[in-house]
Amino acid sequence: MVVDYKKTEELMIKWQKILRLEDWDLFLKIVDKPWRKSGDIKMDTSNKKAVVLINSKPTCTNLDELVVHELLHLKLWGMDQMIEGLINIVFGDNEDDKKREFAMDQFFGVLEPTVEDLAKAFLKVNGSEHDLSFGILEKQIKEEIGE
Protein backbone atom coordinates (compact mmCIF):
# COMPACT_ATOMS: atom_id res chain seq x y z
CA MET A 1 0.00 0.00 0.00
CA VAL A 2 1.23 3.48 -0.86
CA VAL A 3 -0.25 6.23 1.31
CA ASP A 4 -2.13 9.13 -0.28
CA TYR A 5 -1.76 12.39 1.69
CA LYS A 6 -5.26 13.75 0.97
CA LYS A 7 -7.05 10.51 1.84
CA THR A 8 -5.00 10.14 5.03
CA GLU A 9 -5.69 13.73 6.04
CA GLU A 10 -9.44 13.17 5.51
CA LEU A 11 -9.30 10.08 7.72
CA MET A 12 -7.37 11.98 10.38
CA ILE A 13 -9.99 14.75 10.45
CA LYS A 14 -12.85 12.23 10.53
CA TRP A 15 -11.36 10.29 13.43
CA GLN A 16 -10.29 13.43 15.28
CA LYS A 17 -13.99 14.30 15.51
CA ILE A 18 -15.12 10.78 16.45
CA LEU A 19 -12.46 10.49 19.18
CA ARG A 20 -13.35 13.93 20.57
CA LEU A 21 -9.91 15.40 19.86
CA GLU A 22 -11.24 18.52 18.15
CA ASP A 23 -9.48 20.77 20.66
CA TRP A 24 -6.12 19.60 19.26
CA ASP A 25 -4.35 21.09 16.26
CA LEU A 26 -3.24 18.12 14.18
CA PHE A 27 -0.71 18.06 11.37
CA LEU A 28 -0.07 15.11 9.07
CA LYS A 29 3.43 14.20 7.90
CA ILE A 30 4.01 11.39 5.43
CA VAL A 31 7.44 9.82 6.01
CA ASP A 32 8.85 9.06 2.57
CA LYS A 33 12.11 7.35 3.53
CA PRO A 34 12.98 3.97 5.01
CA TRP A 35 11.43 3.81 8.49
CA ARG A 36 10.79 0.81 10.73
CA LYS A 37 7.38 2.07 11.91
CA SER A 38 4.05 2.29 10.11
CA GLY A 39 3.07 5.31 12.17
CA ASP A 40 3.79 7.43 15.22
CA ILE A 41 2.54 10.59 16.89
CA LYS A 42 4.48 13.45 18.47
CA MET A 43 2.73 15.78 20.88
CA ASP A 44 3.10 19.21 22.43
CA THR A 45 0.57 18.88 25.24
CA SER A 46 1.08 22.42 26.55
CA ASN A 47 -0.16 23.85 23.23
CA LYS A 48 -2.43 20.93 22.25
CA LYS A 49 -0.58 20.33 18.98
CA ALA A 50 0.33 16.97 17.51
CA VAL A 51 2.00 15.65 14.40
CA VAL A 52 0.78 12.31 13.06
CA LEU A 53 3.60 10.55 11.23
CA ILE A 54 2.56 7.93 8.66
CA ASN A 55 4.99 5.79 6.69
CA SER A 56 4.47 6.25 2.95
CA LYS A 57 4.79 2.46 2.56
CA PRO A 58 3.55 1.01 5.87
CA THR A 59 3.44 -2.68 6.69
CA CYS A 60 -0.11 -1.98 7.86
CA THR A 61 -2.65 -2.52 5.07
CA ASN A 62 -5.61 -0.73 6.69
CA LEU A 63 -5.08 3.03 6.69
CA ASP A 64 -8.15 3.64 8.91
CA GLU A 65 -6.75 1.29 11.52
CA LEU A 66 -3.36 3.00 11.41
CA VAL A 67 -4.79 6.52 11.79
CA VAL A 68 -7.14 5.48 14.62
CA HIS A 69 -4.30 3.70 16.40
CA GLU A 70 -2.09 6.79 16.38
CA LEU A 71 -4.90 9.11 17.45
CA LEU A 72 -5.75 6.77 20.34
CA HIS A 73 -2.18 7.25 21.57
CA LEU A 74 -2.99 10.95 21.72
CA LYS A 75 -6.24 10.25 23.57
CA LEU A 76 -4.43 8.07 26.13
CA TRP A 77 -1.32 10.27 26.42
CA GLY A 78 -2.12 11.57 29.92
CA MET A 79 -2.52 8.07 31.31
CA ASP A 80 0.60 6.93 29.45
CA GLN A 81 2.66 9.72 31.02
CA MET A 82 1.22 9.12 34.48
CA ILE A 83 2.23 5.44 34.41
CA GLU A 84 5.69 6.20 32.99
CA GLY A 85 6.12 8.80 35.74
CA LEU A 86 5.09 6.29 38.38
CA ILE A 87 7.59 3.75 37.01
CA ASN A 88 10.30 6.42 37.18
CA ILE A 89 9.39 7.26 40.80
CA VAL A 90 9.50 3.62 41.84
CA PHE A 91 12.50 2.46 39.78
CA GLY A 92 14.35 5.68 38.91
CA ASP A 93 15.15 6.89 35.41
CA ASN A 94 18.28 4.80 34.79
CA GLU A 95 17.41 3.02 31.55
CA ASP A 96 20.03 0.32 32.31
CA ASP A 97 18.20 -0.73 35.50
CA LYS A 98 16.76 -4.21 34.86
CA LYS A 99 13.79 -3.66 37.22
CA ARG A 100 12.84 -0.43 35.48
CA GLU A 101 13.32 -2.06 32.08
CA PHE A 102 11.03 -4.91 33.15
CA ALA A 103 8.35 -2.48 34.38
CA MET A 104 8.51 -0.45 31.15
CA ASP A 105 8.35 -3.61 29.02
CA GLN A 106 5.28 -4.75 30.96
CA PHE A 107 3.64 -1.35 30.56
CA PHE A 108 4.22 -1.16 26.80
CA GLY A 109 3.23 -4.82 26.51
CA VAL A 110 -0.19 -3.80 27.83
CA LEU A 111 -0.44 -0.35 26.20
CA GLU A 112 0.05 -1.36 22.55
CA PRO A 113 -2.44 -4.27 22.51
CA THR A 114 -4.97 -2.12 24.39
CA VAL A 115 -4.63 0.68 21.83
CA GLU A 116 -4.95 -1.85 19.03
CA ASP A 117 -8.06 -3.44 20.60
CA LEU A 118 -9.66 -0.02 21.01
CA ALA A 119 -8.82 0.84 17.39
CA LYS A 120 -10.48 -2.36 16.19
CA ALA A 121 -13.54 -1.65 18.35
CA PHE A 122 -13.91 1.91 17.04
CA LEU A 123 -13.56 0.68 13.46
CA LYS A 124 -16.16 -2.02 14.00
CA VAL A 125 -18.79 0.23 15.56
CA ASN A 126 -18.15 2.80 12.85
CA GLY A 127 -18.96 0.20 10.19
CA SER A 128 -15.50 0.00 8.64
CA GLU A 129 -15.58 -2.21 5.58
CA HIS A 130 -11.80 -2.62 5.44
CA ASP A 131 -10.11 -5.80 6.57
CA LEU A 132 -7.89 -5.53 9.61
CA SER A 133 -4.19 -5.33 8.84
CA PHE A 134 -2.07 -8.41 9.24
CA GLY A 135 0.98 -6.64 7.76
CA ILE A 136 3.35 -7.27 10.68
CA LEU A 137 2.45 -10.96 10.82
CA GLU A 138 2.68 -11.28 7.04
CA LYS A 139 6.17 -9.76 7.16
CA GLN A 140 7.25 -12.18 9.91
CA ILE A 141 5.90 -15.16 7.97
CA LYS A 142 7.63 -14.01 4.78
CA GLU A 143 10.93 -13.67 6.63
CA GLU A 144 10.54 -17.10 8.23
CA ILE A 145 9.26 -19.21 5.36
CA GLY A 146 9.79 -17.01 2.32
CA GLU A 147 6.17 -16.71 1.19
What pLDDT is stored for residue 62 in this prediction?
A: 86
What pLDDT is stored for residue 51 in this prediction?
A: 97
Spell out the domain ranges in the chain. 5-145
- Which tens digit of pLDDT belongs to each residue from 1-19? 789 999 999 999 999 999 9
What pLDDT is stored for residue 139 in this prediction?
A: 66
What pLDDT is stored for residue 129 in this prediction?
A: 66
Instruction: Give the CA distances from residue 34 to residues 8, 27, 55, 59, in Å, rounded to whole numbers and listed in that order.
Output: 19, 21, 8, 12
Residue with more model confidence, 77 or 140: 77
Closest CA to 45 of 80, 18, 10: 80
What pLDDT is stored for residue 93 in this prediction?
A: 87
**Count of CA atoms in the C-beta half-sphere (13 A) of 62:** 18
| Average pLDDT of the residues of the chain | 89
